[in-house]
Amino acid sequence: MFKRSFVKPIIFILVLVFILAFGYAYSNGFCTYTNGYGPGMMYGKGNGSGNGYGPGMMYGYNNGQSSYQTIPTNQLKSFSDLTGNVAVNDKNNSVTFNDQNPVIPIIASPNDNAMYSFGVGNLINPTIIVRKNANVTLKLINNDDDMYHGIIITNTAPSYPYMVMMNISLAFQYSAIRPLPYEDKQSKLLATGSTEFSANTPGTYYYICQVPGHAQHGMYGKFIVLDK
């Protein structure tokens, strides 16, 4: 008798605590990361930098390099031209950046046949290769006309689930660019963002789009850091 009378209240309290906890988490962006993304949250609120993603933009998180610029759509080609000591190998679909300070321009959704893809040079989702300790400048441009795209370099190998951000870790500090808006057709502008990081640990990594479902649909490629 004594025991039984406590069961219902305890269940009630547990349910209440759950609801409150969920509500709190939701109001704070649903979920915090503990795997190196810093203060970012899913459905991130940004950090007040006012960079136009608006509240509730999925997977917004900032690593201190969150702003984006726009360039005229007709400058896509010059933006994405490969510069420096670069070897493009279309036989094995790889691009090797031999410089110590490589600039890697990546096009999200390079054409209508490759919406869920990245383009580097004229290759689709190529293996990107850099030297050990390269100081990489990663530049992303979103050429899509109706989807956001971002990029993260991760240790986590495919395959990727729909909610990919919950299931990956960041390969290098700052090796990510938050999702960029799609083309502004009226003003003919494309959004670009960039980040810099040190490829300080040789190994095989992957670059992926963190927007839900995109990596699952194949929006990723290999990223290799050579050991010399």
**List of residues contacting Cu ion (CB under 5 A):** 149, 209, 211, 214, 219
Say whether the peptide bond before residue 159 is cis (omega within 30 degrees of 0). yes
Nearer to Cu ion among residue 141 and residue 211 (C-beta): 211
Chain residue whose CB lies nearest Cu ion: 209
Nearer to Cu ion among residue 208 and residue 225 (C-beta): 208
Q: Count other C-beta atoms under 10 Å from residue 216's C-beta.
A: 18
Q: Count other C-beta atoms under 10 Å from residue 173's C-beta.
A: 14
CB of 51 to Cu ion, least distance (A): 18
CB of 154 to Cu ion, least distance (A): 14
Cβ burial 179-196 (10 Å sphere, 16+ → b, else e): bbbbbeeeeebbbbbbbe
Nearer to Cu ion among residue 147 and residue 225 (C-beta): 147
CB of 142 to Cu ion, least distance (A): 8
CB of 149 to Cu ion, least distance (A): 3
Nearer to Cu ion among residue 45 and residue 149 (C-beta): 149
**Residue for token digits 């109706």?**
146
For residue 1, with 0-12 CB atoms within 10 Å meaning exposed, 13-18 middle and 19 or more buried, which class applies? exposed
